[in-house]
Amino acid sequence: MKALSWLIVFGGVCGFFSMPEAKAAPKILVYCSEASPSTFNPQLGSDGPTFTAASSTIYNRLIEFKYGTTDLIPALAQSWKVSKDGKTYTFQLRKDVSFHSTDFFKPTRKMNADDVIFSFERMRDKNNPFHNVSGGAYEYFKSIGLDALIAGVEKKSDHTVVFQLTHPHAPFLTDLATNFAVVLSKEYADQLLKNKTLEKMDTDPVGTGPFKLVRYVKDATIRFSANKDYFRGAPKLDGIVFAITPDPSVRFQKLKTGECQLIAEPAPTDIKAMEKLPQLQVLHEPGLNIGYLAMNVEKAPLNKPEVRRALALAMNRKEYLHLIYLDTAELAKNPIPPTLWSYDAGIKDIPYDVKAAKELLKKAGYEKGLNLELWTLPVSRPYNPNGKKMGELMQADLAKVGVNLKLVTYDWPTYLDKGRRGEGQLMQMGWISDTGDPDNFFGNLLTCKAKEGGSNYAQWCNKDFDREVSAAEKTLNKSQRISHYKKAQAIFARELPWVPLAHASVYRAISKKLKGYKINPIGVEEFYPLDLAQ
Amino acid sequence: MIRFFLKRVLQSIPTLFIVSLVAFGMIRLLPGDPVLILLGERGGSPEVVRELRSTLGLDQPLAVQYVKFLKEAVSGRFGQSIVSHRPVSEEFWSRFPATVELGALALLFAIGVGIPLGIFSAVKRGSLWDRLMMGVSLFGYSMPIFWWGLLLILIFSVHLGWTPVSGRISPMYDVNPWSGFLLVDVWVRGLGWEGFVNALKYLILPAFVLGTVPMAAIARMTRSSLLEVLKEDYVRTAKAKGLAPLKVVVHHALKNALIPIVTVVGLMFGTVLTGAVLTETIFSWPGVGKWLVTSVIARDYPVIQGGVLLISFFVIAVNIIVDVAYVYLNPKLKGGS
């Protein structure tokens, strides 16, 4: 009798665990994302999870990046013209684009110039009724200076929009292809205005993109269904589910057990284990990023170029690639990665040369050595997965040339704040491009304007370098831009405000059932080109 | 009884006021500016930083910000999140049921296993079983949740495949939240037993992990409290009268041993909410713990101060309920002592 009871209990337990998981829905991709989106309006966000959830999923932009590249392709704008002075951009819009039809909004017209103007006026015009809705910070739009650059957006006809700029800015088209620059529905905005529910614009989105938002369960799942009326044709997937999973090792386990088919940001330490699993495919591409050591040129003795060069020579950077990046990165010598146009492969690499470093230090008057403070990166980033360990390696390397490093770190916000104020001496930093234009590196990280803006952590302001970058920004002629950027790279190599460290490769692990996947160089995932094998 | 209850409620008001002050002050003592975190490596010109700070109301004097926070708390909105731009109360209530569901199952497991374990150890005092069980409970009590959670995922989810790795229900189920309690919502949304079993599978492992420490504490408290009571004369009398040992322990000794156990259970509610921060992070459980961790990293001031205040409110409420339960268990306390 007792044995029989145990058998029943055992049978019950087995039955419980073997009950069917779920009804298999056709072609639903499960993507294990790393965090919740902060909003469903990319204009208001500046984080990867928001851009992945909304930018190319729910919305479109006037111009977009070709999948897996940084080449610009027409999207909502089918063509465009730039005036000779580079200050007027005229966009011809497509006439066949529909906004999503949902339970709460039924569009009565196709997308037109009013939608484009409304989308940009919401960010620009403080009197726009939607400007202050949902906090209205528009940090991305402002941080790349578009609020000051765009003088006006005008409607020339129902399908022609003109952007007037205050000054020529060659990366403008790339800026418009960036994730934040989505086109919202003016008709939907009018409906919300009438109903006095303005905030729904950002929580219950209506876009033109390949998928419609079905439901967001906070911090748990985001569910999308295919937009069968998408102007590029219906997506191959019937839907997508984002399973929000912040821990990278848990994401890996979920991929392994088949609970998701694609995961965000795999941990570098898991890559080798992933490669051994037959059900998975590991892809990698050179990343549009740079990890560097900023040397604050305003703090002695780092104001002397020979001291900066000596520090660079004394670092065994190839060893860092092996120990820190686990051989998943490329040695850097320029401030931009080799995959970006205008990269100068002719610049001489910085060798590991302890003897030369000692001589330079002697020449600079530091033969008895010197003490410096090194700030180690407090967060793990693709461009530097382990700042502390790298700091220890740098400390050991520089000790050989008589430079004593004191390792210091702060929590991430303090690190950024103090770095911005130029309080550090040596500071580990990095950058991941979000536009694929060289100006996104040069202009954003190394110019005098960037120093004022707080993103030039070396506090380096060189007039010659600035002149080249500024000239490259103002001309639309690509070969001229390349020439200016090459000159800028030569100045950088001579002055060395940074020790360029590495360009980390981007890794992705996917289920072999997932078809058509490409790594997006700007980091955000796109789902429209994907398919699932049954 | 009502007077006693009201007295406790009134006493909690100054406590909540102090909590609001501490939550408001502590997060601002932490270095790091929310605006700079929003901008990240990209940075922003001093004008952009100034404008963003002004938009978020962070340029006002601290006293003004605090009064604004109190006003928002009294209105029930608790301010607006810097990151999501949504009211804190809305963000909290959409996540709180998930934490309650997890915490309730964890406490149920802790009580359901901890008390019998403690009784068994007390009755078999000094035996091998007693030592073994107390060893197990000590092991459970000293277990770091993070490590314990990952270990169990590896064993039960990856190797044995018995439970899912993380989440709240299979992503294939589209459950439109009704009450926020998934075990209820699956019935409301017509998913029936299949949905219920699926949701339960996702709940078991995190609840077990979260319940481990309270279970160990309850087991140890039950044992020591029961051992005290078992020495009493009336227990000896009951035994002498020839009552069955089980009846002596459960009917006579346990009720008198319950007061310290109830105290521990009340305190464990706080422990469960603290543990939820880690458990929810490991198991991607969409509750308030994970939400608070993310908000601290982003220095989302309104969320942290509002979230801490709301959680403190619930901890205090549970402890008031525990106080009332004392009175029920020990009528001597009715005098208000």
Find chain B residues with C-beta within 8 A of A244's C-beta: 284, 286
Distance from the Cα of residue A326 to its chain's centroid:
22
Name the residue among A39, A217, A246 with its Cβ closest to that of B281. Answer: A246
Residue-wise pLDDT for A252-304, tens only, equals 989 998 989 999 989 888 888 999 999 999 999 888 999 999 999 999 999 99
- Distance from C-alpha of A374 to C-alpha of A372, rounded to nearest angstrom: 7
Q: Measure in Å the smallest separation between the Cα of A412 and chain B Cα atoms.
A: 8
The token pair at A133 is: 């809705």
Kindly compute the dihedral angle of the four CA atoms of residues A197, A201, A203, A206, in this order, to the nearest 10 degrees.
130
**Could you tell me which residue, A101 or A5, shows the higher pLDDT?**
A101
Distance from the Cα of residue A48 to its chain's centroid:
6
Q: Which string of DSSP letters, residue by residue, matches A68-113?
A: TS--EEESSEEEEEE-TTS-EEEEEEPS---PPP-SS----S---H
- Distance from C-alpha of B123 to C-alpha of B245, rounded to nearest angstrom: 9
Is 60 exceeded by the pLDDT of residue A4? no
Find chain B residues with C-beta within 8 A of A458's C-beta: none
Residue contact B287–A219, C-beta within 8 A:
yes
Residue-wise pLDDT for A124-143, tens only, equals 999 999 998 887 778 788 87
Compute φ and ψ for A225, nearest 5 degrees: -120, 155
Kindly compute the dihedral angle of the four CA atoms of residues A519, A524, A527, A529, in this order, to the nearest 10 degrees.
-40
Q: How many residue pairs bridge chain A and chain B with CB atoms within 8 Å of each other?
A: 185
Residue contact A136–B43, C-beta within 8 A:
no
Name the residue among B38, B98, B173 with its Cβ closest to that of A46. Answer: B38
Place of tokens 């600079």: A364
Task: For residue A208, give every residue at least 6 positions away whose Cβ sits within 8 Å of its Cβ, in sequence order, or none.
Answer: A59, A60, A76, A97, A98, A99, A100, A111, A183, A230, A231
pLDDT band at B333 (very low <50, low <70, confident <90, very high): low
Residue-wise pLDDT for B26-35, tens only, equals 888 877 778 8
Residue contact B194–A19, C-beta within 8 A:
yes
Q: Measure in Å the smallest separation between the Cα of A358 and chain B Cα atoms.
A: 33
Residue contact B85–A221, C-beta within 8 A:
no
pLDDT at A25: 54
Residue contact A21–B82, C-beta within 8 A:
no
Does the CA dihedral A474-A480-A484-A485 come out positive or negative? positive
- Distance from C-alpha of A253 to C-alpha of A258, rounded to nearest angstrom: 9
Name the residue among B32, B153, B197 with its Cβ closest to that of A414. Answer: B32
pLDDT band at B335 (very low <50, low <70, confident <90, very high): low
Task: Classify residue B296 by burial, with Cβ atoms within 10 Å: 0-12, 13-18, 19+.
Answer: middle
Place of tokens 């229900």: B169
Report pTM.
Answer: 0.81
Name the residue among B32, B172, B197 with its Cβ closest to that of A413. Answer: B32
* CB contact at 8 A, A75 and A61: yes
Name the residue among B31, B32, B161 with its Cβ closest to that of A257. Answer: B161
Query: How many residues can be counted in chain A?
Result: 534
Q: Measure in Å the smallest separation between the Cα of A134 and chain B Cα atoms.
A: 5
Residue contact B42–A455, C-beta within 8 A:
yes
Is 80 exceeded by the pLDDT of residue B336? no
The token pair at A38 is: 């902060």
Residue contact A413–B37, C-beta within 8 A:
yes
* CB contact at 8 A, A193 and B76: no
Residue-wise pLDDT for B122-181, tens only, equals 888 888 988 988 888 888 888 888 888 889 988 998 888 899 888 889 888 888 888 989
Residue contact B198–A19, C-beta within 8 A:
yes
In what side-by-side order are the strands of the sheet with A160-165? Answer: A77-82, A88-93, A160-165, A150-157
pLDDT at A8: 46
pLDDT band at B334 (very low <50, low <70, confident <90, very high): low
pLDDT at A290: 95
Find chain A residues with C-beta within 8 A of B182's C-beta: none
| Average of per-residue pLDDT across B232-252 | 84
For chain A, percent of residues with pLDDT exceeding 70: 95
- Distance from C-alpha of A254 to C-alpha of A414, rounded to nearest angstrom: 34
DSSP secondary structure code for residue A349 in this structure? P
